[in-house]
């Protein structure tokens, strides 16, 4: 089974999504979404190449869906790890730039 790792942007996306859900809908919905994301990550761990390829967004970028959110990831075979790049609302226009790491700070 592949390990699951998250970029700092994906961690922030997750925090933001759950905080927004908590404010707008409450704990029950937050727990429902947490469970759905956990099932998706478990699936990626067992079948890391199963996500739909999104080559226009970058080399080896794949995606999975917990509607309305889209999880973008890359499988790093050498490390046997799935790297979650971003978790974005699929209703917005998603560009390659959104999946790039932020520039290094001086």
Q: DSSP string covering 35-90, please?
A: HHHHHHHHHHHH-TT-SEE-GGGSTTEEEEEETTEEEEEEEEGGGTEEEEEEEEET
Residue 86 lies in a domain: yes
Total domains in the fold of the chain: 1
pLDDT tens digits for 81-106?
Answer: 999 999 999 999 999 999 987 665 44
pTM listed for this prediction = 0.92
Residue 73 lies in a domain: yes
Domain of 58, in residue numbers: 3-92
pLDDT tens digits for 26-42?
Answer: 999 999 999 999 999 99
- CATH of residue 51's domain is 3.30.2310.20
Residue 106 lies in a domain: no
What pLDDT score does 105 carry? 46
């Amino acid at each position: 089974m592949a390990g699951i790792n998250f970029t700092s942007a994906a961690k922030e996306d997750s925090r933001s999504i759950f905080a927004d859900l908590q404010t707008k809908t409450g704990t029950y919905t937050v727990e429902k979404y947490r469970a759905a994301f956990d099932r998706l990550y478990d699936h990626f761990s067992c079948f890391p190449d199963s996500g739909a390829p999104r080559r226009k967004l970058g080399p080896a970028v794949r995606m999975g869906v917990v509607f309305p959110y889209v999880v973008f990831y890359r499988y790093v075979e050498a490390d046997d790890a799935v790297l979650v790049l971003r978790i974005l609302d699929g209703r917005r226009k998603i560009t390659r730039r959104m999946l790039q790491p932020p520039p290094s700070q001086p």
